[in-house]
A and B are shown apart, each in its own frame.
Chain A
Amino acid sequence: MLQARLKKRLHGSEDDIHLDVALDLEAGRITTLLGRSGSGKTTILRMLAGLTRPDAGRITGGGTVWFDPQDGIDVAPQSRRVGLVFQDFNLFPNMTVAGNLRYALRPDQDPRTVEEMLEATKLSRLAHRHPAALSGGQKQRVALARALVPEPRLLLLDEPLSALDEEARIELQEELLRLHERRGFTALLVSHDRAEISKLSTAVLTLRDGRLSP
């Protein structure tokens, strides 16, 4: 579904890291990206999403080229149809739970998608609350639901469960599996938790010294 070759020089706290990675994500699978903190995992996700520009490389997603500097192609994040779930949720504080999901609708989507997603993620009774009135687990569930509303071609999950307590983490892992079973999206998950990785993903890529290995 997604093929990428990414090169990027990162300024680390001690030495610079020369990121040079090749990715081939299979459609409908959750692949995990494993690596020490500061190794460039988030940068890889950001480059795939179009938020950070690689120094060189090429990205193709769903048969179209997203990034190819030689042909002058750099598709804007808005047009890549990628979903991104952040570690710190990034819900819009001025909108309710339903408002956050409604904001994520593509112009051609049926507004009823929001109700369906609220039900699928058991958020209906929290629909009218603002993010400030939610627990960490609830916020992350909203963030996941919001990312899935526009039916992304690729879902990027940047340590989505690391800020949660054990109970919320397990609950959300199951939620994620259930949603994946039902919707079959392609996802790239950044995680440190070995148990979580074996539970959620079918393939693991390890990032070490700027290189990826299976």
Chain B
Amino acid sequence: MTTIVLDPTAGKSAASIETVDRPTTLAGLTVGLLDISKARGDIFLDQLERRLTERGATVARYTKPTFAKPAPVDLRHEIATNCDAIIEALAD
């Protein structure tokens, strides 16, 4: 005899999200950098900003109020609206 159990998960299949095409060049694009407010993160991002600017990108810097909480929805929206590309990464 087989056992029937109830699904203990949220039971959703992963929603598929279409990604935009990768840009072929960074020249002329706005690239967003989000500082998550961890100590010394700014030093790393300063370096990244220099390298991106050398390649012709305009860098927009953003800061999360605290690394311990998700970025506020307004900030996420602002980044999505203003930037052509983002670099998603987390250093700790």
Whether chain B is bound by chain A comes out as no
* A→B interface (CB under 8 Å): none
> Which residues of B are in contact with A by a Cβ distance under 8 Å?
none
